[in-house]
Amino acid sequence: MNALRDNLCFTDFTHDDVYLLFRRHDGNSDGKLNFTEFSNMLLPVSKEYSALLTDRPDFYMSRNMPISQFFNSDTRNELRNVWVAMFKCERACEVLRVGLRKRAYFNIKHAFSFMD
């Protein structure tokens, strides 16, 4: 949360948003996102498109720039947009889960069988 606020000047989220995001993406439940979990969360599923991002040479770290200065303003804005979309998606999924939980005749096993 501090990194989003300090490094991206992004504040359009709550503790609950972060909780929902971590609940989905923190695979080892250690309360942190490691690089693999972070990558799985943000990178495209397609290996070709994912490789376009991961195979780029380091630019900022080799120049000893502070993290808060990484990326130009357009990229920083797009990163904010990614976080907005991620948090919005988590909120929407939680609303759906809560709605399904309240349905008296909804059964997850039957839903799986139907989809399978």
pLDDT of residue 48: 94
pLDDT of residue 25: 95
pTM above 0.85, yes or no: no
Q: Summarize pLDDT for 57-79 with one digit per residue, the tens.
A: 877 777 788 877 888 889 999 99
Confidence (pLDDT) at 87: 95
Contact 64, 57 (CB under 8 A): no
Segments of the chain scoring below 70 in pLDDT = none
Predicted pLDDT of residue 92: 96
Nearest to 21 by CA among 9, 4, 7: 4
**Which of 66, 35, 39, 59 is CA-nearest to residue 50?**
39
Q: What is the pLDDT of residue 3?
A: 87
Nearest to 3 by CA among 82, 67, 91: 67
Alpha helices in the chain (DSSP H): 2-8, 15-25, 35-42, 47-54, 73-102, 108-115
Full residue range of the structural domain in which residue 82 is found: 2-115
Give the per-residue pLDDT at 83: 94
Q: Measuring CA to CA, which residue among 94, 79, 81, 96 is closest to residue 19?
A: 94
Q: Give the number of domains in the chain.
A: 1
Instruction: Identify the pLDDT of residue 30.
Output: 94
pLDDT score for 34: 94
